[in-house]
Structure 1
């Protein structure tokens, strides 16, 4: 088969569409013949050498795919060869085939095509596991999403709105603000000109920025507020005023999906299938896809992501 390999840490040019060995399914796994995958910020970090893959994981980028089951490993039930699926991966999605634990498989929602389904698993699982399973966002609460135009951001706006939250998001342009409002955001904040603190307090904040945003986020939280940090685009260090945490009973969570165990991921996927897929099928939540490129043009897709002009997901498709 072919896959996108990383020749060495560096820019998009280090991505190479090349012949590699086919994967084989371990017990409890299936092989997916990949139709499409989707970019995530973690892919860029992995390419740059800033996000080492977990031990035993495929070295190729790609945290989600859609396709058809091509083979079953031992001890797999409930799935058949030929089933159309999408899946959350620990890696290996930029390829023609990938092996994945059966617990990380999802059906393809009735309202969406097989190619587009590749952009659902990572964003849906990230949003649901963090704003619901971790932060327990409730109807009537105020939710702030930093970076509302990305794959996670566009999904978070919609899911939070479907849950009955008042949704606020930061964006980087008037065009992105318009799209965020179309998706359900009640308030959009241009982070280049406006201070998100003016629109708080917030009950839940989902932060993909990290760094100094830590000390900016905490004062804007309401009593019993919850901050969930899932990205480090602004750096690895920030400061905390512990008095604010103590007296307002604030909780700060740092999470990632990739390093969770297969059992933990399966628990998240089961909830996504049960709770989020009906939202997609009834139209209250939709995939936002910006561009679709051939898998062999992964380098160009990475350039587009790093340029930051996209809204929603960038997809890569196998011929």
Structure 2
């Protein structure tokens, strides 16, 4: 090998050695074992206190995590407040319905972490959100799981970056599958993560089209259970306040379980984007399988939310640890 070839080989080796790993490869369990060894217990304690104060903490935190990861990746950019001339993600119309208890949970957990001298300014808001999400799921009866850590907080947050990044209540299976695929998630991951709708609530305005004037031939969406449709009409009469809250899961709204899939089998998916998972023959077998087996569903959900937590992770110079979760820098 000549000198020129040797130099080229050495350069290539150096590039391999010093090039950043794929972002997900830098995440690992027990990332803070030496810098903040009691991190998970600190966060869990705050989440438990919030949970006792209000159940809304559960769906609010879970939804916050999803909305964060699908826009700019899991970097807590959704928590940034609009300042000066910058309108941040949280003030985009698709994020205005995010409940304050999710933000409050992360802020209080971060304060508790920073109150420990060894941990101060060592843990990102993005990682605290990921941990809090696991904890609320577990508190609501869902599976617990190991959380990969090592995310940094994002350096920007703009409302414009939200455009077209979040699924809408009228999406069909192709649209849902495509949007999740853009984030490295499979159709099975999408179906598993959709079960987050076994918790929380929606506003009448988000599904009114399904119960009033659905089409020229059907006033009510024909895929909607007729009895359930009448119940929704009673709760959301015409000209009522469109912000009235309706449970997403009409059977076990305060429990994270596989009832979501059983509801779909009965035509009780609140959004058409929920119900399509059963009406479309391509996704129906998965719905049926998870309606029958909570163990299968739990395993699939753990896999899916772990993969979600790897989306767009910031490391190295692409992120930092914010002094305050709602302020960039």
Superposition TM-score tier, normalisation by shorter sequence = under 0.3
Q: Structure 1 or 2: larger helix share?
A: 2
**TM-score, normalised relative to structure 1:** 0.27
| More contact order relative to length (CA 8 Å, sep ≥ 6) | 2
Please identify the structure whose Cα radius of gyration is greater.
Answer: 2
Instruction: Tell me the TM-score normalized by structure 2.
Output: 0.27
